[in-house]
Amino acid sequence: MMELFNPKIFFNSLIYSILGVVVFWVSFIIVDKLTPYDLWGEIVEKKNQPLATVVAAMCLGIAIVVAAAIHG
């Protein structure tokens, strides 16, 4: 019979989730440094909607790659 709570599976999921967030954040910082302007200033202060859409698509792409790498 399957256990309702398996600590090993829970902690493995937690570790991989944290690892995925860290890899995603580092990737985003690298992309931010490679762009010739301040992403935060353009999106938040200047309300640059097209740039926000491109950054959102980039974030989804990075997240899909990180999830696929962790999932196997």
Token look-up 């990737």 returns 27
Q: How confident is the model at residue 57 (pLDDT cuts 50, 70, 90)?
A: very high
Q: How far, in Å, CA of 1 to CA of 12, rounded?
A: 21
Predicted confidence at residue 1, as pLDDT, reads: 53
User: What are 3's two structure tokens?
Assistant: 């256990």
The residue ranges of every structural domain in the chain are 20-71
pLDDT higher than threshold 90 for residue 9? no
Structure pTM? 0.70
Predicted confidence at residue 47, as pLDDT, reads: 94
Render pLDDT for 30-55 as a digit per residue (tens, 0 to 9): 988 898 888 888 989 999 999 999 98
The sign of the CA dihedral 17, 18, 19, 25 is: positive
